[in-house]
């Protein structure tokens, strides 16, 4: 089962550094009956230590388990790192790459993120490729920032493989701040992203790419965001830590 399906809504929860393996099992068991009647694709990006347990708990359901980061090497002397093959072995089917926190806190460059995207595709995992601007960058010309992140981050990705990539737009100024881009602001950014993809990969390929919005998504604003033409789903942070709240976002209609 895959997370990406063109024009099918996709909701991905990103737990960040929260929840133990035991917590994950409890959460998944509570979530499964709450989302079993939806056509929306549901994914949970859990901590490395919870992947195996969460994946086992989710067996037989449509809830997919993923990771929040990975190394771009297949293996090697990289103490503390983890490879895509290890994530797959644990039960992960997708991986978040280039999250703003990885860019800002850990200094990941577009080149590093690109290498991870390529590795994930080579290993048969779905990369959830994140792009987005800070508040300062937005004021000084965020469209150029998005363009460079997309072009550099997807360098070497073939036209056929583009459909296997999920793009997540996360305005950094709206992450964990309580601020949310208005539906129009979010739509404009998503349309710009799709146009950049069209310039590089062609309009037909770009039209099929799933683009998620991430930035203080909550049950109260999910429906308005999802109504926008170029918003295909959401990357949910804090609101994904509660199964009922997360399920409410999944049932955004």
Nearest C-alpha neighbor of 113 from the set 55, 74, 64, 70: 70
> So which residues are the catalytic ones?
99, 170
Nearest C-alpha neighbor of 37 from the set 219, 251, 242: 251
């Amino acid at each position: 089962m895959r997370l990406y399906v063109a024009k099918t809504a996709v909701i991905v929860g990103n737990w960040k550094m929260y929840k133990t393996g035991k917590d994950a099992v409890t959460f998944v068991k509570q979530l499964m009956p709450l989302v079993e009647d939806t056509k929306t694709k549901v994914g949970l990006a859990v901590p490395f230590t919870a992947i195996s347990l969460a994946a086992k708990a989710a067996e037989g359901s449509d809830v997919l388990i993923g990771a929040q980061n990975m190394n771009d090497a297949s293996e090697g002397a990289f103490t503390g790192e983890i490879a895509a093959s290890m994530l797959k072995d644990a039960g992960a089917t997708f991986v978040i790459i280039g999250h703003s926190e990885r860019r800002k806190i850990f200094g990941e460059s577009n080149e590093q993120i690109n290498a991870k995207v390529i590795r994930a595709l080579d290993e048969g995992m779905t990369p959830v490729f994140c792009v987005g601007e800070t508040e300062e960058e937005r004021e000084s010309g965020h469209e150029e920032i998005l363009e460079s992140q997309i072009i550099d981050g997807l360098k070497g990705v073939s036209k056929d493989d583009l459909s296997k990539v999920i793009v997540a737009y996360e305005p950094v100024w709206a992450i964990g701040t309580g601020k949310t881009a208005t539906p129009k602001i979010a739509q404009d950014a998503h349309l710009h992203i799709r146009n950049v993809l069209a310039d590089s990969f062609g309009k037909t390929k770009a039209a099929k790419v799933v683009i998620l919005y991430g930035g203080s998504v909550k049950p109260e604003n999910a429906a308005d965001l999802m109504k926008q033409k170029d918003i295909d789903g959401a990357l949910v942070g804090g609101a994904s830590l509660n199964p009922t709240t997360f399920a409410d976002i999944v049932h955004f209609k």
